[in-house]
Amino acid sequence: MKAMILAAGRGERLRPLTDSVPKPLLPVAGRPVIEYTIAALVDAGFIDIVINVAYLGQVIEQALGNGDRFGADLSYSREGKTGLETAGGVVHALPLLGDGPFLVVNGDILTDFPFDRLRTRRSRSAHLVLVKNPPHHPSGDFYLDVDRLVSTGEEALTFSGIGVYTADFFSACRPGKLALGPLLREAVKLDRVSAEMYQGFWMDLGTLGRLRLAEEQVSKAVFGKVGSV
């Protein structure tokens, strides 16, 4: 199974840091965020990794290279100067992802989620990992009914930015800018999405405050040495 890291975002909420450094290369405890994810994927057996790039994409490619030093085979899906958003980025990268199911991970999260558990193919077109709602997103995104994603329920959970998809899930999408959220909500109505909840370490590093908090968590060994190389 191949994996894809979404790394094409501009990182507006992380300015001025992202004026000169692409968001995935911002350091946490002296190491670029995206390197934690690459190393964790490789540890879990995901060797073929596609990274989509747009804003300062050449900087990302120069920093990561072909993946040899991680034990990975990195390829890049280039979207031009402006990104195509989440679903649009995946659609653009489909020729690199092959015919089988593939894993997609947001490039601005830090987690010790065991990616190897996602290598088994699911019966539905998409499978998401959900987490408890963080303080900055108290209303959540979806509800979990055993192993199905549903639109209503007792306790909403937050989409972690980790999911497995089939190419068929995106078959009706036209090339261009397209967000993943509306596509997922429509698929939930059609019972096309399975899901699971993860209660381990997970952080979205989308703001300066959360980036600083991640530094504290790593320094306190709350996150640990996941994906060390």
CATH number of 2-219: 3.90.550.10
Stronger pLDDT, 115 or 123, i.e. the higher one: 115
Please measure the distance between the N-terminal and C-terminal CA atoms of the chain and give it in whole angstroms: 22
Buried/exposed 9-22: b ≥16 CB within 10 Å, e otherwise: bbbebbeeebeebb
Percent above pLDDT 90 for the chain: 63
pLDDT value, residue 6:
96
Lowest mean pLDDT among 39-43, 49-53, 155-159, 221-225: 221-225
pLDDT tens string 122-168: 668 899 999 999 888 888 889 999 889 988 888 899 999 999 999 99
Give the list of residues 6+ apart from residue 51 with CB closer than 8 angstroms, or none: 4, 5, 7, 34, 60, 64, 74, 75, 76, 77, 107
**Residue 227 pLDDT grade (very low, low, confident, very high; cuts 50, 70, 90):** very low
